[in-house]
Amino acid sequence: MTDAAALQERTRALLAAHPPATTDRLDFLRARYDAGLAWVHYPVGLGGLDAPRSLQAVVDAELAAAGAPDNDPRRIGIGLGMAAPTLLAYGSDEVRSRFLRPLWTGEEVWCQLFSEPGAGSDLAALGTRAVRDGDDWVVDGQKVWTSSAHTARWAILIARTDPDLPKHRGITYFVCDMTDPGVEVRPLRQITGEAEFNEVFLTGVRIPDAHRLGETGDGWRVAQTTLMNERVSIGGARIPREGGMIGKAAAVWRERPALRTHALHRDLLALWVDAEVARLTGERLRQQLVAGQPGPEGSAMKLGFARLNQAISGLEVELLAEDGLVYDDWTMRRPELVDFTGRDAGYRYLRSKGNSIEGGTTEVLLNIVAERVLGLPPEPRNDKDVPWKDLAR
């Protein structure tokens, strides 16, 4: 039985054996994983202790008090938030043991090869092909909007393995080696000036069948695990009260009394309350997650996150008056992570435009909430029984 006291004791033993002040960061993270204190709800041997997820807070508090290094979760968000739950749910023992440890320690960055030029919201229409060749699959196609492809060592990939079946049924899910010579990554410059995401061209990429997740043809179901977790991980980061974007806008208000008006005050207060409601809703969602996989509620959370980020960053630019038009850096950087609070107001304003597109657009998430949370009639879907090869493209 692993309870809070036992976890506290285990964490203290880890700290005593590997004092953070004198232990190399990576050595500490590997030791933490091996002690089952990485994600306590994961199985024994895979960085966890089969303990309730809620007890992670006990470990984190002990480690933070001792000044222990963390695994820089923002840098490896796709791995932690999306690849890991899918590997855990569908990977073989070998696959889980091979990939989860370096994923968690941040030694190996992951990216998500899902969207294509002709398949975004309608992801199941994707055309990247995977053809079986002996013990391998050979993959050809093009992906787009792939965040972190330029830093990633591995990717989660969905590809079409049977074009004769309707679009949702002929898809298979793989782990793709980003160092394969057939993988070409090209930057895509965004409205912010950065190239945080990429086009990825796949030409004759070989993937061993052992790196398939789930059954052949069952990739759509496997992808749901990734997508449900993606929505929670995009909108669901834990932040303190008045943390994140609202903290930045409130700071401008406090620091620049000359720019205050009643109307701006009213808008700021309304957004402050909305941000606090969203923060507390996130806490509740995390508590629900303790009980299992995220459901469509994650879509509602992500919807709110996108709206709020856009509204708050818009208000911050307004509060700054003409200073809000100044942009700190147009260099085409290739960032490793999205840092909403590390840059200026203009960056936040421009970058948050993507929040209502990434991880499912606002319109598509509204459909999910309408159908799966509110039980409203579904959208007409006339193509779901038509073989993929016969669909108009």
Residues near ligand FAD (CB under 6 A) are 111-112, 114-115, 120-121, 145-147, 197, 354, 357-358, 360-361, 363-364, 367, 379
Q: Are 152 and 112 in contact (CB under 8 A)?
A: no
Q: Are 117 and 141 in contact (CB under 8 A)?
A: no
What is the C-alpha to C-alpha distance for residues 193 and 312, in angstroms, rounded to an integer? 21
For residue 367, count CB atoms less than 10 angstroms from its CB and return exposed for 0-12, middle for 13-18, buried for 19 or more. middle
Q: Which residue, 78 or 317, has its beta carbon nearer to ligand FAD? A: 78
Q: Which residue, 4 or 237, has its beta carbon nearer to ligand FAD? A: 237
For residue 71, count CB atoms less than 10 angstroms from its CB and return exposed for 0-12, middle for 13-18, buried for 19 or more. buried
Output the residue with the shortest Cβ distance to ligand FAD: 120
Q: Which residue, 111 or 228, has its beta carbon nearer to ligand FAD? A: 111
Quote the least distance from Cβ 57 to ligand FAD, whole Å.
Answer: 29
- Give bridge partners of residue 189 from the DSSP assignment: none
Q: At what angle do helices 244-255 and 297-319 cross, to 10 degrees?
A: 20
Quote the least distance from Cβ 391 to ligand FAD, whole Å.
Answer: 15
Q: Which residue, 36 or 85, has its beta carbon nearer to ligand FAD? A: 85
Quote the least distance from Cβ 180 to ligand FAD, whole Å.
Answer: 18
Quote the least distance from Cβ 190 to ligand FAD, whole Å.
Answer: 7
Q: Which of 315, 317, 311 is nearest to 355 (CA)?
A: 311
- Residue 15, φ and ψ in degrees, nearest 5: -65, -35
Q: Which residue, 7 or 350, has its beta carbon nearer to ligand FAD? A: 350
CA atoms in the 13 A half-sphere facing the CB of 67: 5
The per-type count for the chain, helices as H runs and strands as E runs, is 12, 8
- Residues 6 or more apart whose Cβ sits within 8 Å of residue 138: 130, 131, 204, 205, 206, 207
Quote the least distance from Cβ 246 to ligand FAD, whole Å.
Answer: 21
Q: Are 180 and 228 in contact (CB under 8 A)?
A: no
Q: Which residue, 2 or 362, has its beta carbon nearer to ligand FAD? A: 362
Quote the least distance from Cβ 16 to ligand FAD, whole Å.
Answer: 40
Neighbours of 249 (CB within 10 A): 28
Neighbours of 21 (CB within 10 A): 7
Q: Which residue, 56 or 229, has its beta carbon nearer to ligand FAD? A: 229
Quote the least distance from Cβ 125 to ligand FAD, whole Å.
Answer: 10
Angle at 167 between CA 164 and CA 169, to 5 degrees: 80
Amino acid letter at 274? D
Based on the residue annotation, tell me whether 199 is a catalytic residue of this protein: no
What is the C-alpha to C-alpha distance for residues 389 and 393, in angstroms, rounded to an integer? 9
The three-class DSSP label of residue 194 is coil
The three-class DSSP label of residue 205 is strand
Q: Are 83 and 73 in contact (CB under 8 A)?
A: no
Quote the least distance from Cβ 172 to ligand FAD, whole Å.
Answer: 16
Q: Which of 62, 194, 196, 230 is catalytic?
A: 230
Q: Which residue, 11 or 352, has its beta carbon nearer to ligand FAD? A: 352
List active site positions.
Answer: 230
